[in-house]
Structure 1
């Protein structure tokens, strides 16, 4: 045992410089784990220290990376440090309805800036050493016409997908029976009101989602149901079928693409079928589960396009599936359109890149793919534009500018610099003196729902006043953005790391009878298995991996792959990552609340894919 220690920390070339480096690693590790403030800090310190020393030894004799690679990785390390240090200073006690007194950023001191230098050094060392190993094991490949794994829908594969979809459905069934007819939320109530013509149609919650609920209720009432209970159950059953098929497709695809061992495959099936966090989405009457499942399906489609070098464009099945997934994504959540626009923009970049490199074989498939996505976007705009307008179906502008509105509200709440025109504009939206008590740093909902909030004002000259106030108050704007979005990018904010409220945050009527009395229609909530003790086993909420940590993995992987493409001529592609990055960009720009796991569900469910890609990168002499 004693002989192992010298092998890790001491070599024949050991000198004072190396000892200083090991001491520096210890300081960096201590400060990084201190600011991360994760549970069991001492264990994390030992783990990070061990990994850092091992990586230092492993990469000691590896070829150095070039200047540009160093600069890019240093920038990534700086971003990581900013994330960690700022997050450690966020203090939030009431996420949804907390005011300035409850939610704020703790001031920074000199020790924070000194610590940031050491943390940056440690992060840079860690990510650059990992990159050195990956780069040393990745084959250069100047030939761009190399095909990867091509997924085929043969009879055996289809049977396998259906079989495991049935397994997932059965594993989720107890949740439906215990919380029958499914979790009904405020969003659900709003859409049912529209579907039953109690309220006029609007596109605040996408019309596709509203009509889906409405037709489920109408079908069951046509068959004799006297209330909305059976209609809600039908919605959940259809959603369970769709989700189980997509998740099964995803897991089977992972197994085939990465040649997973059977045990790994069955573990994935077990996780997707038995974890409360995933299972409860199958009976949650939100738009997010179907939206996320469609994006998972579309992610697989994009991988198949890359793996086949565009040959999938000649497959009618592939085009139909891609179109269906894209359309569902657009019509089930309002940010779906912007994600598809982002994908289209990336296709244009790929066209430019391949034209410069004279990769003629991929140009036609990329052009056809761009035409497909542009057609989908234009068709969706035809529906949500002229057709919606004809039937007076409108959305709310405040939904798309929520973060921007909160930035302006923070300026008014703190009485920061404003021109007379800006002050008059803010006063027209809400009496200027009320912002101090009605500005909620972590959520826009309470402000926009205030009885004195005049949403009509923001229809005109909003961006003009937003920019005017930004120029005078950039720091205040940044603070407002941090408090409104940090849940989706933080690696260490205390309230996010321990958060277990996902379903509960939506106040499901199943467990909030006080809200049931306010409904203008009947839904009978019951436990069909009758034993309430089962609710402890099949609970409503459980902890999930924070979205910020999941996205950190994606972001770092994307940087590694980008560098391999540039400096090793790797045939890997960032294209399938566009959906994940597109989703996160929409959350960074227009999230209505600082954190709600359901908004970032896609990133969480794709974690297995990210892990297998990372493992694949570390495999020695593997063709990409």
Structure 2
């Protein structure tokens, strides 16, 4: 009997059963749903000729990643499990079984992708390269042409709430604040004033800001295409990259949306490209080395100044850059010192001299604030001492009615209304221990709060707004208004396209942050499996990590836009051979046909 049971547990039939159960429970389907029959059939063919990882290294990487993705999948849908059962032991068993079932699914899927990575190589050594300037120009031109209809339809561009405040600062209506990065505000001021001189109206000023942003982003994407081209990545893949950057609506809409996050995402992409180049460069030309380090410094400064979490992401990357970039170690160390020195001077003495207001203390405490608020909102008891400490900075009685599990703004607003943030600064130790003690006492509430506040960044089944094209009344007060140059019917079709991802299956997943995060993890796993350097992945991973401890919103697309536009780079890194740089001069042995 035991032998038969062991045999069954190792068979594909057990995996079919476990996987079907996992999908049904996780997606909240009824047990009588006919989809269960379809799932059994699907999983039968999925596991029938199962591909297994051959090497121990592969099995370990695939195992770790499959467990991670399975936990993400189940944790992201924990509330569906709670609807079915409230007995904790039964709930725990269901969680374990669901995770086990998803592990089976993901492990098999990862093994298939690993096999594809072995068989597919994006590099074609026989591919003839022409001058990079031609590739850059063609890529740049195509992207601008793809984005122009959106610029014309939403002329003078997309102005968001945050940017209205920045324009107020640029126009001298309000004081400079680094809550929105001053560097970006100064960019707006420069090109807005240029636009005013040319067009003599606020719409013209904004249009110039938008068009310059389009030029910058198209240049960054075209630069990536050129780098891939020089590394002999197949032209078909380059074409797909251009289509992705040019045709996907969120890229087009973000190219005309005035947000600090757009330039920041471009800076992170450039930083990853530079790290890739520094890591693989075989060019010992002194001018090339100097140029790379200058680029490393300039882009590093942008990463640190365009978002506050960019600075922390840069700090996280420093030890890895010094450790992994052995050939450029001296230059990298010098570059880091120069970068941090300039950033320190700008964020310190310069901003103080210009009386730039810094973000308040609660702005960076979204996650711990949500943890504590969840405890109060769920009716958990606090001691008199804890209530007294917390009551100094927030009206405790209002927390249950104001708390939203996916965004921290309501609770931060309550703290700001109390107007006693100095008390937090003066009693940091006490508030830290309050957060720690409540977490140890009520771990379930903290876990739920953490999941709800961040799940959009690591699960695929979360849909949140990505872009808005509305023009607010406040923007009109500033003299900026929608002045579309296209017929209203066409504009309505384009507006429908902004939210079509919520209606069209499969297409919708291309708008999912979690989906791109999973792709990045898969590409990272392939890169580790091939024993290649993972350094280009680290800036985005560090940025993602910063959101896990500080995000104010659970699925803000723009906050992690650098991940989305970095996917073409990550795929190229993981699916290319180790010989990208070894260009073949005598390609007689490989025909051009092989590059098609």
Change in Cα spacing, 1:213 to 1:46, as seen in structure 2 (3 Å) is farther
Aligned to 2:390, what secondary structure does the other structure show? helix
Counterpart in the other structure of 1:3: none
Task: Supply the distance in 2 between the matched residues of 1:618 and 1:304 (Cα, whole angstroms).
Answer: 13
Query: What are the residue-to-residue correspondences of 1:4-15 with 2, within 5 Å?
Result: none
Deviation at 1:38, TM superposition (A): 11
Task: Supply the distance in 1 between the matched residues of 2:519 and 2:119 (Cα, whole angstroms).
Answer: 20
Task: Supply the distance in 2 between the matched residues of 1:193 and 1:126 (Cα, whole angstroms).
Answer: 54
Counterpart in the other structure of 2:272: 299
Gaps of 5+ in 2: 30-34, 502-509, 584-596
Counterpart in the other structure of 1:289: 262
Moved more, 371-380 or 38-47: 38-47
Counterpart in the other structure of 2:594: none
Task: Supply the distance in 2 between the matched residues of 1:349 and 1:445 (Cα, whole angstroms).
Answer: 39
Deviation at 1:342, TM superposition (A): 1.4
2:166 paired residue among 191, 208, 228: 191
Counterpart in the other structure of 1:10: none
Task: Supply the distance in 1 between the matched residues of 2:294 and 2:83 (Cα, whole angstroms).
Answer: 48
Task: Supply the distance in 2 between the matched residues of 1:304 and 1:279 (Cα, whole angstroms).
Answer: 27
Contact 1:90–1:105 (Cα < 8 Å) also in 2: no
Query: What are the residue-to-residue correspondences of 1:46-65 with 2, within 5 Å?
Result: 49-56=44-51, 62=54, 65=56
2:554 is equivalent to residue 594 of structure 1: yes
Deviations 1:79-108 (A, max 9, x none): 2222111212247xxxxxxxxxxx999956
Deviation at 1:173, TM superposition (A): 0.8
2:207 is equivalent to residue 218 of structure 1: no
Change in Cα spacing, 1:554 to 1:43, as seen in structure 2 (3 Å) is farther
Counterpart in the other structure of 1:606: 566
Query: What are the residue-to-residue correspondences of 1:398-409 with 2, within 5 Å?
Result: 398-409=362-373
Deviations 1:515-562 (A, max 9, x none): 315764211311112434333046444533412122122224334443
2:140 is equivalent to residue 165 of structure 1: yes
Deviations 1:330-355 (A, max 9, x none): 222221111111110212443xxxxx
Deviation at 1:292, TM superposition (A): 0.9
Contact 2:454–2:554 (Cα < 8 Å) also in 1: yes
Task: Supply the distance in 1 between the matched residues of 2:250 and 2:267 (Cα, whole angstroms).
Answer: 19
Contact 1:422–1:468 (Cα < 8 Å) also in 2: no
Change in Cα spacing, 1:200 to 1:42, as seen in structure 2 (3 Å) is farther
Counterpart in the other structure of 2:591: none
Task: Supply the distance in 2 between the matched residues of 1:252 and 1:49 (Cα, whole angstroms).
Answer: 44
Q: How many residues align?
A: 547
Deviations 1:46-105 (A, max 9, x none): 66654443333x65xx4x527xx75665443332222111212247xxxxxxxxxxx999
2:70 is equivalent to residue 81 of structure 1: yes
Task: Supply the distance in 1 between the matched residues of 2:475 and 2:119 (Cα, whole angstroms).
Answer: 62
Contact 2:405–2:453 (Cα < 8 Å) also in 1: yes
2:377 paired residue among 403, 410, 413: 413
Query: What are the residue-to-residue correspondences of 1:139-158 with 2, within 5 Å?
Result: 156-158=131-133
Counterpart in the other structure of 2:593: none
**Superposed CA RMSD:** 3.6
2:396 is equivalent to residue 441 of structure 1: no
2:314 paired residue among 340, 346, 352: 340
Change in Cα spacing, 1:364 to 1:315, as seen in structure 2 (3 Å) is closer
Task: Supply the distance in 2 between the matched residues of 1:117 and 1:209 (Cα, whole angstroms).
Answer: 44
Change in Cα spacing, 1:618 to 1:316, as seen in structure 2 (3 Å) is closer
1:250 paired residue among 204, 209, 224: 224
Deviations 1:285-323 (A, max 9, x none): 111111111211221111111112685885233223222
Contact 1:161–1:252 (Cα < 8 Å) also in 2: yes
Task: Supply the distance in 1 between the matched residues of 2:330 and 2:499 (Cα, whole angstroms).
Answer: 45
2:297 paired residue among 323, 326, 329: 323
Counterpart in the other structure of 2:335: 372
2:453 paired residue among 477, 484, 507: 484
Counterpart in the other structure of 1:431: 395
Deviation at 1:437, TM superposition (A): 0.7
Task: Supply the distance in 1 between the matched residues of 2:23 and 2:486 (Cα, whole angstroms).
Answer: 46
Task: Supply the distance in 1 between the matched residues of 2:240 and 2:142 (Cα, whole angstroms).
Answer: 13
Counterpart in the other structure of 1:557: 523
Deviation at 1:248, TM superposition (A): 1.4
Task: Supply the distance in 2 between the matched residues of 1:617 and 1:126 (Cα, whole angstroms).
Answer: 24
Aligned to 1:525, what secondary structure does the other structure show? coil
2:441 is equivalent to residue 472 of structure 1: yes
Change in Cα spacing, 1:124 to 1:243, as seen in structure 2 (3 Å) is closer
Deviations 1:255-292 (A, max 9, x none): 443521x3333233223212211100110011111111
Deviation at 1:376, TM superposition (A): 0.7
Change in Cα spacing, 1:172 to 1:224, as seen in structure 2 (3 Å) is closer
2:24 is equivalent to residue 34 of structure 1: yes
Moved more, 113-122 or 423-432: 113-122
2:212 is equivalent to residue 238 of structure 1: yes
Task: Supply the distance in 1 between the matched residues of 2:250 and 2:213 (Cα, whole angstroms).
Answer: 16
TM-score (norm 2): 0.82
